[in-house]
Amino acid sequence: MHSGTQRTSAPTIPTITAFERSPDRGQGLSRDMRVRWALEEVGQPYNVRLLSFEAMKQPAHLALHPFGQIPTFEQGDLVLFETGAIVLHVAQHHAGLLPDDANARARAIAWMFAALNTVEPPILELVTVRILERDKPWSSERLPLVQDRIRERLVPLSTRLGDAEWLDGAFTIGDLMMVSVLLRLKPSGMLGEFPALSAYVARAEARPAYRRAFDAQLAVFNATQPRK
Ligand code: GTB
């Protein structure tokens, strides 16, 4: 390098991991989808490394993700796991997903935590009852209890949203994460009980960045389908 010349190295393209064969069959419900969506919203290109279930539990991946899950995010020296941490990192390093105003920024982050810590847990329980516990003799008794716990979250969420477009002003990571969590309810039909939330999810799904992310994960599923 010549003296007096400052060289700023070009930022590397991040690499995320995703299922080689997603169990949701390309419905966009796997957690790589929220990371893809965040990257699309801010216009950051990314690479995807696909992993089999076996590879996810091998030392090479466990070095990146202690629980052997997807997604991970690698950029330069940084390796991240947990979608909340990844999406927050992306939002903090690019314009578009967090407001400039410090208080509004803090509230957007609060909505992201609300999605992950308050709304997602009962929704995950529903997936457990409907799929993993389907054959248990007590499954049909447990189902309505879990559905009611979800309603306890969706009623106040719907009330707070009212007829607003997004949760707190402009679209933020709070909306991105809340919609990602609510989408998990689609197969159950429960979202239909809440017209304001259904419309909120539909608005988010219509965003060009969401469409691009969805199409990218669907292309992976279609490409890895065995030919008939
Ligand atoms: N808290 C972590 C995060 O937010 O990053 C959770 C990560 C996680 O659960 N990853 C899942 C995983 O790797 C993929 S999305 N699971 C494999 C394992 O734990 O061994 C989970 C998922 C699977 C299927 C559907 N589906 O069919 O709808 C949706 C989501």
Q: How far is the CA of 99 from the centre of ligand 1 (A)?
A: 29
The CB density around residue 224, as the number of other CB atoms within 10 Å, is 14
Q: Is residue 188 part of a domain?
A: yes
Ligand 1 center from residue 55 Cα (angstroms): 15
Is the minimum distance from the CB of 23 to ligand 1 under 6 angstroms?
yes
Query: Is residue 127 located within the same domain as residue 216?
Result: no
Q: What is the CATH number of the domain that holds 36?
A: 3.40.30.10
- State whether 19 and 78 are in the same domain: yes
Q: Are 161 and 108 within one domain?
A: yes
Any atom of ligand 1 within 6 Å of the Cβ of 17:
no
- Predicted confidence (pLDDT) per residue in 105-121, tens digit: 999 999 999 999 999 99
Q: Are residues 56 and 132 in the same domain?
A: no
Q: Does ligand 1 come within 6 angstroms of the Cβ of 195?
A: no
Q: How many angstroms separate the Cα of 27 from the Cα of each of 7, 137, 158, 192, 195?
A: 43, 29, 24, 18, 21
Distance 177 CA to ligand 1 centre (A): 14
In a domain, 71, yes or no: yes
Does 20 share its domain with 76?
yes
CA of 164 to the centre of ligand 1 (A): 30
Summarize the confidence of residues 138-147 as an average pLDDT: 93
Residue 29 pLDDT grade (very low, low, confident, very high; cuts 50, 70, 90): very high
With a 6 Å cutoff on the Cβ, whether 83 touches ligand 1 is yes
Are 65 and 147 in the same domain?
no
69 and 140 belong to one structural domain: no
pLDDT at 1 over 80: no
Q: What letter would DSSP give residue 190?
A: G
Beta pairing class for 15-19 and 47-51: parallel
CATH number of residue 155's parent domain: 1.20.1050.10
Q: Are residues 62 and 111 in the same domain?
A: no
Displacement of CA 86 from its chain's centroid (Å): 10
Total of domains in the chain: 2
Ligand 1 atom showing the smallest separation from residue 34 Cα: 4
Closest ligand 1 atom to 67 CA: 19
* C-alpha dihedral, 216 to 218 to 219 to 225, nearest 10°: 150
Whether residues 22 and 87 share a domain: the answer is yes
**Is the pTM higher than 0.85?**
yes
Q: Is 82 in the pocket of ligand 1 (CB under 6 A)?
A: yes
Q: What is the pLDDT of residue 96?
A: 97
Evaluate whether residue 57 is within a structural domain: yes
Same domain, 123 and 191: yes
- Whether 8 maps to a domain, the answer reads no
Asked whether residue 143 is assigned to any structural domain, the reply reads: yes
* 111 found inside a domain: yes
pLDDT band at 161 (very low <50, low <70, confident <90, very high): very high
Domain that holds residue 197: 102-207
Whether 13 and 45 have beta carbons less than 8 Å apart is answered as yes
169: region left, alpha or beta (phi > 0 left; psi from -120 to 50 alpha):
left
**Using CA positions, which residue lies closest to atom 1 of ligand 1?**
82
Q: Which atom of ligand 1 is nearest to the CA of 27?
A: 28
